[in-house]
Amino acid sequence: MIPSRTRCLILACGNTLRGDDGIGPWLAHWAKKRFSANPAVTIISRQQWTPELAEDIARAQAVLFVDSSAASEPGAIQLVPVAPAAGHPALATHHVDAPQLLALAHELYGSWPRAVFLLTTGAGATNLGEEFSEPVKRALPAACALLETTVRNLLTGNTPRP
């Protein structure tokens, strides 16, 4: 078990050059400004999640993953709890998902965050470009609000409401 240092870790993922796929980094950038005065919140934004992030997760008391979703309606916002992946799923070296990272954190460091959630925004268009689709643009205020509420709940120990 490694010592826990981060009270709330925001872990965003996405490609800012592929339209709505960039929503994760966009929200991470927003959160950096929003929580700039709060040392309890750590924000990491990556193009892809990779296994090395397991240590950051193991060190955190609570984790909020932030990503786009190809499975949801464009602009649809979802907050769901994340459970670790079961068994030993094959890991890609270039990208792992939130359940895999959670499982890896436990396998490597024997540590679980107290609470883990995934915030997704449905992607409408992921073509080359740095602009969001209209449904995602309209969803941004609500996504920001939900992110902020969730982080505040995680910091105070309250269970965020999906």
Residue 109 engages other proteins in binding (rule: CB under 8 A) = yes
Contacts of 19 (CB under 8 A, 6+ apart): 123, 124, 125, 126, 127, 128, 129, 130, 131, 132, 133
**Pick 93 or 156: Cβ nearer other proteins:** 93
| 44 binds other proteins, rule: CB under 8 A | no
Q: Is 157 in the site for other proteins (CB under 8 A)?
A: no
- What are the helix (H) ranges across the chain? 23-34, 54-59, 98-109, 134-156
Asked if 118 and 67 touch (Cβ cutoff 8 Å), the reply is: yes
Shortest reach from residue 100's CB to other proteins, in Å:
8
- What does the alpha-carbon distance between residue 4 and residue 140 come to, in Å, rounded to a whole number? 31
Which CB sits closer to other proteins, 4 or 47?
A: 47
Q: Are strands 60-69 and 41-46 parallel, antiparallel or unpaired?
A: unpaired
Q: Which residue of 41, 57, 103, 154 would you call a contact of other proteins, by CB under 8 A? A: 103
**Position 92 contacts other proteins (CB under 8 A):** yes
- Please identify which residue in 9, 54, 77, 118 interacts with other proteins, judged by CB under 8 A: 54
Residues of this chain that interact with other proteins (CB under 8 A) are 46-47, 51-52, 54-55, 87-94, 103-104, 107-109
